[in-house]
């Protein structure tokens, strides 16, 4: 299983955790985003096929760039 994540405008590498229990692979990650956007994940299966999913991520408070004082 190979994984790729894409967030427009964010070329930074992503950390993820791969888990494999009962023959089922599962990946989780945490990404800091400054703006709302679509995040895309692509996984290549052992048989060579690709699966993908996308989700809209809505950022309500960009704490890493806004002055909170």
Degrees (nearest 5) of the Cα angle 34, 39, 41? Answer: 140
User: Do residues 16 and 29 lie in contact, with contact meaning Cβ atoms separated by under 8 Å?
Assistant: yes
Confidence tier at 12 by pLDDT (50, 70, 90): very low
Please state the pTM of the whole predicted model: 0.56
- Is the pLDDT score of 10 beyond 80? no
User: Do residues 59 and 33 lie in contact, with contact meaning Cβ atoms separated by under 8 Å?
Assistant: yes
pLDDT for 31-68, tens place per residue? 777 788 888 877 777 788 888 888 888 888 766 665 55
What is the reported pLDDT for 5?
63
56: nearest Cα among 31, 33, 39: 39
């Amino acid at each position: 299983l190979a994984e790729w994540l894409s967030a427009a405008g964010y070329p930074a590498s992503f950390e993820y955790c791969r888990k494999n229990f009962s023959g089922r692979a599962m990946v989780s990650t945490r990404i800091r985003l400054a703006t709302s956007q679509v995040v895309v994940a692509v996984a290549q299966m052992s048989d060579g096929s690709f699966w993908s999913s996308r989700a809209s991520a809505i950022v309500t408070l960009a704490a890493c760039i806004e002055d909170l004082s």
